[in-house]
Amino acid sequence: MDMTVAERQTGQQDGNAYNLFKLTWPIFLELFLFMLIGITDTFMLSGVSDAAVSAVGAANQFIFIAILILEVAGHGASIVVAQYIGSKKMVDAARVGAVAVTLNLLIGIVISVSFVWFGNALLERVNLQGQILQMAQSYMIIVGGSLFIQAIINTLASVIRTYSFTKESMYISLGINVLHVIGNYLLIFGHFGFPALGVEGAAISTVLSRALGLLVYFWAFYRLIEVKVAFKDYVTIKWTYVSKICKVGIPSAVEQIMYHGCQAVFLYYVTYLGASSLASRQYVLNISMFIYLFSLAIGMGTAIITGRLVGAGRREEAYSRVWKSLRWGLLYTVVVNTVIIIFREPIMGLFTTDPEILRISSQIILLSILLETGRVFNIVLINSLRAAGDTQFPVYMGLISMVGISLPLGYVLVFHTQLGLAGVWLAVAIDEWIRGVMMFFRWRSRVWEQKALVEPLEGNGSRVNDSASV
């Protein structure tokens, strides 16, 4: 790349890198599209049979956990790259991305082989039988066996977003999702002369769309990133980079696995409350995703900004930027949650006419204002703490609050005080607020200022005019 183009690209990056809105809206749309595709998948497979939906859902429980593990390298690399970019060490930033690709590829291969060899045993352990078991096995072998593709996609997408190319990442994700829907249409139902493969068709469509998306991500990686990565950067593993990636990525993955493990225990509680409570839980969870979706995008965008500012040694700006992001997240959450509470009955009427499910769901949606406002603190502040290099504290607090408090409290509220599903929501809300308050004081303490992964360059105190813009 000639110097003029490089300088122009760098200038554009710097102009967008500290603007929260420019970073966040593509992330928001990418997350929104991801949610819609999940709903579309379920809808299209329901045209085959309820058994097909159940089979894919069961297989995806294990695949989802595997994808969380794959986030170790992707998320860890994004934070390390952000700090290197902030300190103007662009060669190191590019090489970290290359090392992360190789690291996640190796992890992905191990996971893929494990699904091929042990997938059947896993599905049998959750008591799947007959036709559902057969369809789940086919889906897990095809999709689970190709997770090494998703491993590389996760890493490249995280790195590209960290370079402030969130819009480009969104477009690629959109393309993958469109190809996936088209593939489902052709291969699930057998249109235009293609074989009607049902669940296997959905699995093949998933793999093909991801494989094509991977090629585009690699093209974007070399087209957009200022410092080009050589082949030797993929095969020459620098353990300093690996150590920094794992320092961020492993605690992040542990916390996510711990959170979803607790949610699985709460699901186990709810199974004792009956079919109406089980259905109500699923409906309200789907609605809740739309409540915290923008806050999640704000958290991801703020993490990119925080990592860069910490890498640049501009800690005061990082400190104030996070508080502004938190206020925006809270405002959005309160407004959207209030609208959903006001229109909760017609919204639920779109899903069901069962009076018992409507009663339970309406009650839970009222309680969601407690849960979702607490969740905002954790989404924004935990992402920011990780971006600053303070990775251990959120894990310890999660262990104390999620496992030590919310699980036993949920059991008491559900079964001993007879609150039913409302007891689960209250227990989760209390956990969110306990952790949220702790994260609030952790960020305020500024202990994270001593946790940076990258030393800023001497005299690197450059300012960007829109660093505080929204």
Higher pLDDT, 3 or 340: 340
φ/ψ bin of 274: left (φ > 0), alpha (ψ from -120 to 50), beta (otherwise): left
Q: Per-residue pLDDT for 388 more than 70?
A: yes
Average pLDDT (253-267) is 85
From the list 371, 422, 373, 431, the residue with the least C-alpha distance to 404 is: 431
Q: Of the spans 21-35, 218-232, 270-284, which averages the highest pLDDT?
A: 218-232
Average pLDDT (156-177) is 89
Q: What is the DSSP string of 30-67?
A: HHHHHHHHHHHHHHHHHTT-HHHHHHHHHHHHHHHHHH
Mean of the per-residue pLDDT values of the chain = 85
Q: Where are the domains of the chain?
A: 10-237, 251-451
Tokens of 110: 């191990």
Q: Per-residue pLDDT for 389 more than 50?
A: yes
Tokens of 403: 């496992």
Which range has the worst mean pLDDT, 14-23, 192-201, 404-413? 14-23
Handedness of CA 76, 82, 88, 90 (dihedral sign): positive
pTM: 0.79
